Structure 1
Amino acid sequence: MNNTAHQPHCFTAWNVLDWISKQTIIHLSKTLACDELVTDKICGNIRLQGDKKTLLWHVKGPLSVSGNVTVYHRWGHQPIVVIINQRKEHTILKGETLTLSITNLKTLEVRGDGTSNAFSIGKYSLTIQYRLSHGYANPATGELICYLSDKDGNPVKSLRCMELIQTPNRKTVKVSVSHNTTTYLQKVQVLLKGFITIRVVENDREFKIDTIPFQVEEDFLLYAPVGSFIKCQISDVQCSVYYTNKGEKINVMLEFCQQLQMVENKVIEMLACPTLPDTG
């Protein structure tokens, strides 16, 4: 047998059927200063002896609190004195219930109104509302940075690119190439998904503001016969971020180059001569 004769060899390669390159820009925004209306319900028991005063609740922090206060005198011969904001007093007797609507509640206290050491037993409840403001860095001093990341804020180099499967198959579109020439292309639907993390540097400190998910769907007309599939390459990624609305909002612009190829697996046969080992 002649080992030096040409023999057929087969291998699989990607055959590029069509391709396109385009610049893509994605705009995102994040509101920083937003007020959240919070509702709290608080309740507890009252146990007083003599004329001792007990603080039931007080506001924490610079909050403007409003809502309803209810105090019930369940047992005991001595009246219960309800004190609002350390000055306004209301007296209730056994079996009575006091309900007040207050727009600027700071403190709620009770004390017994008697000279003996007898006990007074009761209950209280509050349904209050207040606004929490979520703020971040001062736009006058904070420098913003942004980058592609995973869902946890860790930097990544690219984003997810995939074709959206169409049923039963890709739609074919008739396209006019010139005055007398037409061709048929397929509509390829591409989904881009990823995350952008925004961080701020202020006074030599750096901390994360947020990680924002995003996704974009785009349609392309390509030569994409049955059996072909898409290959995506994302390059030249640039992210810019800036404050708007006096620091209450952040705008993000993500720009990158998107290269798409429609490929198919193709078996190629060629004649080749095997290389004989060097026996010396």
Structure 2
Amino acid sequence: MGSVADKIARKVATQIRSNVIDLSAFRAGRELAAEAGLDGSRFEDLVEQGYDPAFAFYAQGLTLVSMFAEAISAMPEAKGYAKAMAKAEDEYIPEGPPISPLTASYFNMWAFFDLQFGASRETMGTCILRVAETTGMPGWIAGIVRPMQDSRMGFYVHMGMDGPLVLLKDIVTGRVLRCHSATGYLGEAGQLWYTRLLPPPVPDIGHHVVVTTPYVVLDGTEQRFLDYIGREVVRMTAAGGRKAADAETLLKFGPTANHWNEYIFLAYVNHQPDAIFLAGVPDIRESLPQAQRGRPPHR
């Protein structure tokens, strides 16, 4: 039988061979990728134009992923994905403040790489990787998609600046990473950010990129959120029986599909063009500003 990703990959391969799928969109995506320097070229040109090369790499990569996702989500094998996506879009209206605290940059990464569906718990990213492997697509496609699929949201302590780069400490791993903030928000030392980092795409680039609008937890501290993570992991492990949970699983997938969407919605305090401000801890409902205003939890 195989996984959902295997079934989707076989169907895509068959449709390509029978010319049911028009590869012009994928070829266009490849041309966009080459023009943006995703094959390792033209990074100097992008820098001269004012773009951070790591950000440009992943921004164009998301264009490619969205083209794949549009085709795959229409397949019967991905009906679970389409249903979950529609529900989340209806409930959280991911357009960014003042309409919703869920920005498009946050929601798209969650939808493509964290939202699981099917019995084999695939994501759109794992399906695209399987399609690329099965159909013999160029290796650079996996090179774009895999680091995005491997990424997760996380809590980071602002450790100061290294020139124009923000130093962010992952509270789970303890690693301090040099990061380009794509929105331009630099913040200040001591802040706790909830955001997603992507690694340097090629060896010539020595910094990560903050790919989502930073969520700054105003009352957040490293220990407060380490304590929360510990409590949630215990609950997830108990719910999963013999299968132990860990912090990485919690931060990427949550105990439920919309756990982190709900946290952002209930924790929202305020915003400015380059950052969004939150308060509270996910499992302390009285600490969440929107919960205090009587907003019922989503399911």
**Do they superpose with TM above 0.5?**
no
More strand by share: 1
TM-score class normalised by the smaller sequence? under 0.3
TM (norm. structure 2) is: 0.18
More helix by share: 2
Kindly name which structure, 1 or 2, has the bigger radius of gyration based on alpha carbons. Answer: 1
Relative contact order, higher structure (CA 8 A, sep 6+): 1
